[in-house]
Amino acid sequence: MTTYVLATNHVDTSARLCDYLVERISGSDEIHAVNSHRGGEETDAVDVRDGEEALNVVSSRLGAIATVETHQYVRGNDPYKDVLDQAERVDADEIALGIRKRNPTAKVVFGSTAQRILLHSTRPMIVVPLEDAE
């Protein structure tokens, strides 16, 4: 049995992660899909709805193969902390996340949840590119 934590913020991210995992998982595996927002003025109803849709993609694509639990957090935490906390709670074997190519300015100004997960986790990770290679 393998326990995965999937970090997702968009239906496209969920779809890419599912495309990768569908051939790897089995009926004994557990998947915990996490969508996290800081809340307050930084999160609106569209963000929450998009997060719910992203989680629904994981449930619908992988739920017939393995056990899937979805978790949406809107509670003031940095999203990377919610992902890492969930990985600790379920003793995840692997964390799966998608990465995008970003220019240096966007990286400095906006930070990166994926980058923070990569830098702060001690667990193995699956990193799936969200864009096709050029």
Q: What is the pLDDT of residues 2-44, one digit of tens each?
A: 999 999 999 999 999 999 999 999 999 999 999 999 888 888 8
The yes-or-no verdict on residue 105 having pLDDT over 70 is: no
- Residue at 28 is within a domain: yes
- Residue at 134 is within a domain: no
Instruction: Residue 128: name the closest of 30, 21, 53 by CA.
Output: 21
**Dist. CA 87–CA 12, nearest whole Å:** 22
- Residue at 47 is within a domain: yes
Looking up residue 79, the CATH number of its domain turns out to be 3.40.50.620
Please state whether beta strands 94-99 and 125-129 pair in parallel, antiparallel, or not at all (unpaired). Answer: parallel
pLDDT at 132: 66
- Residue at 87 is within a domain: yes
Q: How confident is the model at residue 65 (pLDDT cuts 50, 70, 90)?
A: very high
Overall average pLDDT of the 83-110 stretch: 81
Structure-token match 């998608």, residue found = 98
* More reliable by pLDDT, 91 or 103: 91
For residue 4, the one-letter residue type is Y
- Residue at 62 is within a domain: yes
Structural domain boundaries, residue 14: 3-129
The yes-or-no verdict on residue 110 having pLDDT over 50 is: no
- Residue at 76 is within a domain: yes
Name the domain count of the chain. Answer: 1
Instruction: Residue 74: name the closest of 55, 92, 95, 91 by CA.
Output: 55
pLDDT at 109: 44
**Dist. CA 13–CA 98, nearest whole Å:** 6
**3-class DSSP assignment, residue 120:** helix
- Residue at 66 is within a domain: yes
